[in-house]
Amino acid sequence: GQQVMQIPQYQHVQEGEDFTTYCNSSTTLSNIQWYKQRPGGHPVFLIQLVKSGEVKKQKRLTFQFGEAKKNSSLHITATQTTDVGTYFCASNAGGTSYGKLTFGQGTILTVHP
């Protein structure tokens, strides 16, 4: 089945540094969703990208979808302690299973004050 590989698994940064997590697939993706999970919490939807080359911004967060729709990235500028958590990418399966999401393994972000 469809797989999305997410790297890195862990990232430790000093507050104020930038952070990027990457999501890669060997097959063309119909879309990419990004979720954030705070420590001890549950995943919360951040954004969805659908179009080739699409870039969306939410304050200090920039989301990109690759031209070939096989990869995506989430970049955080000038991290803050509130950015701590696990960031997941996810993509819809194709065909009749479209509504099923396949999640990446997640990137655990730690921000040192």
Q: How far is CA 37 from CA 1, 86, 88, in A?
A: 25, 5, 8
Apex 9 CA angle, 29 and 59, nearest 5: 70
Q: Is 110 in the site for another protein (CB under 8 A)?
A: no
Which residue type, as a one-letter code, is found at position 30? S
Q: To the nearest whole angstrom, how small is the minimum distance from the Cβ of residue 106 to another protein?
A: 5
**Which residues 7-36 are close enough to bind another protein by CB under 8 A?**
9, 30-31, 33
> Should residue 99 be labelled a site residue for another protein when binding is judged by CB under 8 A?
yes
87 CB-near residues (< 8 Å, 6+ apart) = 21, 34, 35, 36, 37, 74, 106, 107, 109
For another protein, the closer of residues 3 and 80 by Cβ is: 3
Binding segment for another protein among 11-19, 61-69, 71-79, 88-96 (CB under 8 A)? 88-96
Our CB check for another protein shows the closer of 85 and 106 to be 106
- Given the rule CB under 8 A, which residues bind another protein? 1, 6, 9, 30-31, 33, 41-45, 48, 50, 88, 90, 92, 98-101, 103-106
